Amino acid sequence: MLLPADERQLVVELVDRWSLLLLASDVLDDAGQPQVAPEPAAVVTTALPGRPSALQPDPVPRSFTFWRPTWGVNTFPKGEAAVDRVSDQLTAEAATAAGVDPAQLLRHDRTPVITYRRSGWIEPEASLHVGALGGMAAPANRWPEELVTVHRQIQRALAKAGERIGSEHFTSNRYEPRTYALPHAMAWIADGGRVHPWDA
């Protein structure tokens, strides 16, 4: 679990230590390349997202996407399963509705990426759901070896830098995952913050 101050440190480390680029958008530029955030740490808002609403756009980012130029863009072949075809259709419809050419999208199922889904408020200032480190939207056994290695290294670094959250801080005792909090998040928990153990 990370609060915005922890997230800024994470972003700096991913850029400096793992040579990742923070993407500003999933829409590619005119040359077909990802748009990179010029000041990565500045992208991290001081507020965390709240509950999602189907009627309103998110006022703050819910996730961050990181990429290396050597990983390429949309280089993985399209899946042939029915679920892949449905995903393609829904993605194309959503892009068109937003006024974006579907061909100009960086596809997370076809591009190696590291993602971080942010913690978010379940009850404002009272309870947060945990965040999650992720990767490309494809089965992990299809990830390229370099992506697997980087993902594992970041996971280990986060666990080493954090403190395990005790079950007494969870909002439910029905599920008690191994969850770590970085320093600012741990201070919030110590002050009475409650942790929703699911990542959504």
CB 14 within 8 A of CB 20: yes
Q: What is the pLDDT along the chain (200 residues), one digit of tens a residue?
A: 999 999 999 999 999 999 999 999 999 998 889 999 999 989 998 899 887 766 566 778 999 999 999 999 998 877 777 777 777 777 777 778 777 787 888 889 889 999 999 999 987 778 999 899 999 988 888 899 999 999 999 999 999 999 999 989 998 877 778 889 999 999 999 999 999 877 64
Q: Which residues of 74-102 are buried (b: 16+ CB within 10 A; e: fewer)?
A: bebeebeeeeeeebeeebeeebeeeebee
The structure tokens listed for 166 are: 């005790």
The whole-model pTM stands at: 0.88
Report yes or no: 80 and 74 within 8 Å, Cβ to Cβ. no
